[in-house]
């Protein structure tokens, strides 16, 4: 048992695999001596050297393209895109190429690659450095999308992502980097398996990424008001652990989904549609979504706080659902 | 230069294979046997041939939407290619890719690619892999003049140059980006000049001269294998057909077309081989007849092959599970 932050857990997972497998390498903007924009790879340059912890020019398309080409030819690259906002620049390489290659080529080429990228609002970074783009990627056949919350989940799921033979997009929330937790296992956690972060009987709050921490606080408050909330963290967005959701909803009969995405076209909407299509008869009330607003992420703290789906918004949604 | 007569004979066979494969595809498309979009390599055969003759089986290539010639030159099997064009389950991609997405990892073919310029970044990744694993492999990256205006071109040449990657950037300047002539889509004449921006060698050669292409590629590949980094080779050529089959190419100047067709690569290579005593006309005719038979066999294989099963639509999205399919 060891206490680690989310950031340390991510660094540990990369380091474990890089020590074991010389074909695993990390590249991206400023990941080398500088240690990455948030410090995630700090110290790795000293341990693994410039070939394996490799700085790239500011060329997101070429970063993803280089990951694709090197994964197709024997390496297991981890490519870091500094902010998920910048993934738009590399979208062609990720969508038209990495995601589709295995299918287009009839299974001839496998791409064991991970794209790590940083999500989320809360640091006054405004519209181009704060958003949550997971729905852009869960939409695409051929990609697996992982968005864990706790240090233990970050470590285990990143190990599994590196081990996977498909392109995996691995989201990290910039606010969550400092969250600490107990890490007891250094084994991979299979992709596609969710986890109940808190058991409850009245409502299932489905949350992932940093929203898990907000949902847990919401559940605490709700408990005081006599509402028993279960917090379900799918951890992997695709493939989604539908069985765990069905099990939980079968017990609670109410679902609130929270994510930090723009509400319109969100992955939260996809989960909501799945629950409505396949579990309608189990529901006591319609699903509710607690997402960010449909605005660009604003700069000023007052505006940004109004934009972010907060703990109280989750509490309010659960209560409103029961009225 | 160390090219052997055997290699030159092999190059002739490769060029004829490409020419006849493409001519057959043109007819089969016109007759409704090949569906979808078809981009033919007719007139550009010398480039894939001259470059790939220098490559080993375990070297890599990235290709384009106009990729049949590259696949054949890298050793692709025309039976599986034809079956793929026909959309059959025995095709290279099991009928999931078609003309624009043929790949064969065992031959180092990292895929034809329907996105203009996308292969350039992928080639950088392959080059990184070769250098990182300390093999002597290289990656030849084929692309057209139109793609040199994409951001990928700049990103890829820059990244390959700073890391001195063993990538050979082969620009097939066929003078058109779809309908837009080179003189309209860029202000330069020699794309090879752009190499200067990345501090790498850039050479322009007659892309309809198989030996000129071979020599330029030979030198670039030798540099790459020695760890001296990438080279940009511009091969000047001409696309005989429209951008795709069905494009009437009204934007072409008929006089220019006539001049380029007169400089056609297969005929020129025949003359070269005969003049230099490498092959006689009879020997080359024999190759032509053998390739005719290969094409017939490939077509027969494609025609007799089964179509994919509808339930296979959900396979190969991922390596480890199938996607749900519609139940009817």
Q: Do A65 and B139 touch (CB under 8 A)?
A: no
Q: Locate tokens 């205006």: which residue?
A: B149
Torsional sign, CA B245, B247, B248, B251:
negative
- Both A177 and A28 in one domain: the answer is yes
- Residues A293, A160: one domain? no
Q: Are residues A148 and A199 both part of a single domain?
A: no
Structural domains of chain A, count: 2
Taking contacts as CB-CB distances below 8 angstroms, the residues of chain B near A97 are: 113, 115, 118, 122
| Same-domain check for residues A223 and A313 | yes
The two structure tokens encoding residue B29: 């498309």
Q: Same structural domain for residues A254 and A314?
A: yes
Q: What pLDDT, in 10s, does the model give residues B266-283?
A: 999 999 999 999 999 999
> What is the distance of C-alpha A76 from the center of its chain?
20
Instruction: Give the tokens for residue B201.
Output: 């060698």
Neighbours of B34 (CB within 10 A): 23
CA B187 – CA A215 distance, rounded (Å): 57
My answer on whether A90 and A199 are in the same domain is no
Residue-wise pLDDT tens for chain A (323 aa)? Answer: 899 999 999 999 999 999 999 999 999 999 999 999 999 999 999 999 999 999 999 999 999 999 999 999 999 999 999 999 999 999 999 999 999 999 999 999 999 999 999 999 999 999 999 999 999 999 999 999 999 999 999 999 999 999 999 999 999 999 999 999 999 999 999 999 999 999 999 999 999 999 999 999 999 999 999 999 999 999 999 999 999 999 999 999 999 999 999 999 999 999 999 999 999 999 999 999 999 999 999 999 999 999 999 999 999 999 999 99
- Closest chain B residue by Cα to residue A57: B159
A174 and A210 in a common domain? no
- Domain membership of residue A189 (yes or no) is no
What per-residue confidence (pLDDT) applies to B328? 86
Both A152 and A273 in one domain: the answer is no
Please give the Cα distance from A84 to A134 (Å, whole number).
Answer: 9
**Which residue range forms the structural domain that includes residue A273?**
195-322
CA distance A171 to chain B (A): 20
**Nearest one of A102, A168, A156 to B323, comparing CA atoms:** A102
Query: Two tokens at B228?
Result: 């001296």
- Judging by beta carbons within 10 Å of its beta carbon (0-12, 13-18, 19+), is residue A154 exposed, middle or buried? buried
Dist. CA A81–CA B60, nearest whole Å:
26
> Angle at which helices B5-30 and B265-275 pack, to 10 degrees?
150
Query: In the sheet where A53-55 sits, what is the strand order?
Result: A53-55, A24-28, A76-81, A114-119, A168-173, A144-146, A236-238
Q: B24: closest CA among B79, B103, B73?
A: B79
Question: Is CATH 3.40.1390.10 correct for B5-314?
Answer: no
Cα distance from A24 to chain B (closest Cα, Å)?
11
Question: pLDDT confidence of B1, banded at 50, 70, 90?
Answer: low
Per this entry, what is the length of chain B?
328
Subunit contact A65:B60, Cβ cutoff 8 A = no
Q: Give B326's DSSP letter.
A: -
Instruction: Report chain B's C-alpha Rg in angstroms.
Output: 19
Residues A28 and A168 placed together within one structural domain of the fold: yes
Site from A24, A65, A97 to mutate, B interface, most B CB atoms within 10 angstroms? A65
Task: Supply angle C-alpha B58, B62, B68, rounded to 5.
Answer: 100
Flag whether A174 is in a domain.
Answer: yes
List beta partners, residue A233: A195
Cα separation values, A59 from A87, B159, B170, B230, Å = 11, 8, 21, 18
Calculate helix-pair angle for B5-30, B210-225, nearest 10 degrees. Answer: 110
pLDDT tens string A117-151: 999 999 999 999 999 999 999 999 999 999 999 99
Does an H or E element contain A260, and which? strand A255-262
* Shortest alpha-carbon distance between residue A46 and chain B (Å): 18
**Same structural domain, A58 and A176:** yes
What digits encode the pLDDT tens for the residues A152-203? 999 999 999 999 999 999 999 999 999 999 999 999 999 999 999 999 999 9
Supply the CATH number for residue A230's domain.
Answer: 3.40.50.920
Q: Where are the domains of chain B?
A: 5-314
- In this structure, the answer to whether residues A204 and A149 fall within a common structural domain is no
Q: How far apart are CA B315 and CA A253, in angstroms?
A: 34
Q: Which stretch of DSSP H or E encloses residue A232?
A: strand A229-233
């Amino acid at each position: 048992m060891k206490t680690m932050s989310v950031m340390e857990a991510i660094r540990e997972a990369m380091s474990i695999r890089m020590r074991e497998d010389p074909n695993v390498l990390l590249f991206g903007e400023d990941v080398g001596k500088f240690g990455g924009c948030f410090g995630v790879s700090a110290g790795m340059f000293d341990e693994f050297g410039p070939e394996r912890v490799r700085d790239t020019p500011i060329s997101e398309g070429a970063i993803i393209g280089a990951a694709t080409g090197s994964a197709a030819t024997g390496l297991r690259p981890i490519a870091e895109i500094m902010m998920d906002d910048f993934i738009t620049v590399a979208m062609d390489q990720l969508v038209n190429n990495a995601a589709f290659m295995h299918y287009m080529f009839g299974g001839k080429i496998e791409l064991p690659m991970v794209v790590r990228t940083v999500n989320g609002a809360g640091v006054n970074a405004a519209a181009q450095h704060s958003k949550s783009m997971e729905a852009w990627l869960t939409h695409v056949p051929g990609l697996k999308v992982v968005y864990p919350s706790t240090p233990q989940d970050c470590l285990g799921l990143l190990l599994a992502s590196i081990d996977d033979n498909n392109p995996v997009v691995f989201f990290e929330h910039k606010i969550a980097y400092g969250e600490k937790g107990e890490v007891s296992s250094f084994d991979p956690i299979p992709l596609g398996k969710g986890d109940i972060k808190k058991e409850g009987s009245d409502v299932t709050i489905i949350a992932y990424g940093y929203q898990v921490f907000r949902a847990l606080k919401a559940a605490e408050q709700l408990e005081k008001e006599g509402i028993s909330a279960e917090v379900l963290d799918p951890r992997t967005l695709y493939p989604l652990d539908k069985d765990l959701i069905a099990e939980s909803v079968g017990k609670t009969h109410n679902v609130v989904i929270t994510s930090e995405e723009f509400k319109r076209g969100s992955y939260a909407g996809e989960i909501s549609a799945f629950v409505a299509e396949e579990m309608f008869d189990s529901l006591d009330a319609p699903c509710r979504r607690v997402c960010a607003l449909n605005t660009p992420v604003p700069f000023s703290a007052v505006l940004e706080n109004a934009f972010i789906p907060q703990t109280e918004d989750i509490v309010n949604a659960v209560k409103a659902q029961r009225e | 230069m160390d090219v052997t007569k055997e290699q030159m004979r092999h190059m002739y066979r490769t060029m004829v294979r490409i020419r006849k494969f493409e001519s057959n595809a043109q007819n089969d498309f016109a007759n409704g046997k090949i569906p979808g979009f078809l981009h033919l390599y007719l007139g550009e055969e010398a480039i894939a041939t001259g470059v790939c003759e220098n490559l080993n089986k375990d070297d890599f290539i990235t290709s384009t939407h106009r990729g049949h010639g590259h696949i054949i030159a890298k050793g692709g099997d025309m039976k599986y290619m034809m079956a793929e064009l026909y959309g059959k389950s025995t095709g290279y991609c099991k009928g999931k890719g078609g003309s624009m997405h043929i790949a064969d990892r065992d031959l180092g073919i990292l895929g034809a690619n329907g996105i203009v310029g996308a292969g350039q970044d992928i080639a950088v990744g392959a080059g990184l892999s070769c250098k990182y694993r300390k093999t002597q492999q290289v990656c030849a990256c084929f692309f057209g003049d139109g793609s040199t205006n994409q951001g990928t071109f700049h990103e890829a040449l820059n990244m390959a140059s700073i890391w001195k990657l063993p990538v050979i950037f082969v620009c097939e300047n066929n003078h058109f980006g779809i309908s837009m002539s080179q003189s309209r889509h860029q202000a330069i004449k020699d794309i090879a000049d752009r190499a200067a921006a990345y501090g790498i060698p850039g050479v322009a050669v007659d892309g309809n001269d198989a030996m000129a292409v071979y020599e330029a590629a030979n030198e670039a590949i030798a540099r790459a294998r020695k760890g001296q980094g990438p080279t940009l080779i511009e091969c000047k050529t001409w696309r005989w057909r429209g951008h795709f089959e069905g494009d009437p190419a009204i934007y072409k100047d008929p006089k220019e077309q006539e001049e380029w067709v007169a400089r056609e690569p297969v005929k020129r290579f025949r003359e070269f081989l005969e003049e230099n005593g490498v092959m006689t006309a009879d020997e080359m005719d024999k190759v032509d007849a053998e390739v005719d038979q290969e094409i017939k066999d490939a077509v027969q294989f494609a025609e007799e092959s089964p179509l994919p099963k509808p339930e296979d639509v959900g396979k190969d999205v991922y390596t480890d599970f199938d996607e749900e399919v519609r139940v009817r």
